[in-house]
Amino acid sequence: MELNPGMKLRSGACEAQFIVVRAASGDVDLRCGGAPLLAGDAEAGDAALDPELSDGSLLGKRYADEDLGLELLCTKAGQGSLTLNGSPMGLKSAKPLPSSD
Give how far the C-alpha of residue 85 lies from the chain's centroid of Cα atoms, to the nearest Å: 12
Identify whether the C-beta of residue 12 lies closer than 8 Å to the C-beta of residue 47: yes
- 68 found inside a domain: yes
Q: For 14, how many CA atoms within 13 A lie in the half-sphere containing its CB?
A: 24
* 50 located within any domain: yes
pTM: 0.86
pLDDT of residue 97: 87
The structural domain count of the chain equals 1
53 lies in some domain: yes
* pLDDT band at 91; cut points 50, 70, 90: very high
pLDDT in tens, 29-78: 999 999 999 987 777 667 888 889 989 999 999 999 988 999 999 999 99
67, exposed or middle or buried, with CB in 10 Å at 0-12, 13-18, 19+? exposed
In a domain, 2, yes or no: no
State which residues form the domain around 77: 8-86
Q: Is residue 98 included in any domain, yes or no?
A: no
48 located within any domain: yes
pLDDT of amino acid 24: 86
